Chain A
Amino acid sequence: MSATTLQMLLDELGYDEKTVGTALNQEFVRAKDRAETRLREGDAVEIVTPRQGG
């Protein structure tokens, strides 16, 4: 991974940004903040998409 921001990571991994939610270290990151959200060694990134649920 060469991404330095959350947005770059999403692009690198091939996500459609309209249908994903993101969190960094268990804190929600809004779609509009992804480009400014810098990633550091050891960060826990969550990328989620709609799924079946009860």
Chain B
Amino acid sequence: MTDPVTLYDVALSSRLLLGTARYPSPAILAESIRASGCEIVTVSLRREAGGARAGEAFWSLIRDVGARVLPNTAGCRTAKEAIATAQMAREVFATDWIKLEVIGEEDTLQPDVFGLVDAARALSDDGFKVFPYTTDDLVVAEKLLDAGCRVLMPWAAPIGSGRGVNDAFALRALRAHFPETPLIVDAGLGAPSHAALVMEMGYDAVLLNTAVSRAGDPVLMARAFALAIEAGRAGFRAQPMTPRDMAEPSTPLIGRPFDRLA
């Protein structure tokens, strides 16, 4: 495996994590996962009427695909709800990985960072490997690491907005401030170029859902994102040139025809 990313001691060759919601059909979901080459998919827990089998059918599909699952606590509004959801997820999905979401505001689905830190601490103490969905705030990031998180997942823009990077400065600052912590951009990306950009900044991975599932051709978009992430990562490792304000000829001037010595 060349250039793997390591998340909680698990080495992965793909730097794309894919959400499983809002695809046109289960078949397109499965094909998109395969086309993306991702090794981790996010899943959730929801109420279901007794006797219904939608949850079981979905879980069977995910197990067939063979990806590692990262359950989320999507929709939770308090640390208490998130903790109970994480505990249920650990039992149902048989994993101690949890994508921790504590939502604080409905229009932006912005994390309640106070509840997030509280829940992250409780879950880390209970043996969970927490992937916190957070903002790009440096102080919150520090507190999440203090709480026991060893991966951070800052947003680029509100969930499902497809806006791309809202604050490139903040994301660059976060990257610079935590050079050793795996950082995954989670939420807000819409186009493959957005993913390439954050990978060029040095982000370790990207978590996507709506950008793929609501594309006209989700399978093709899954592949496009995979290529963009790979390209962005290679671009980062290759160390891009420093931008300049003035032009600089790329073709040597020495020996230029029609040149007249003064």
Contacts and interface: CB of A to CB of B under 8 A. Distances in A.
Interface in B1-58: 19-23, 29, 42-48, 50-51, 54-56, 58
Contacts of B209: 54
A26 B72 CA distance: 17
A42 interface: no
A50 to B, nearest CB: 4
Interface string B145-165: 000000000000001100000
Given A13-B50, A50-B62, A19 B20 contact: no
Top 10 closest pairs, chain A to chain B, by CB: A53-B44, A49-B55, A21-B88, A13-B50, A54-B19, A54-B209, A28-B87, A48-B45, A50-B59, A14-B51
B48 A49 contact: yes
Given A20-B92, A23-B84, A30-B91, A52 B58 contact: yes
Contacts of A26: 80-81, 84
Contacts of A46: 47, 84, 88
Interface of B: 19-23, 29, 42-48, 50-51, 54-56, 58-59, 62, 71-72, 74, 80-81, 83-85, 87-89, 91-93, 159-160, 209-210
B55 A50 contact: yes
Contacts of B51: 13-15
A40 to B, nearest CB: 18
A23 B87 CA distance: 9
Nearest to A16: B56
Contacts of A30: 91
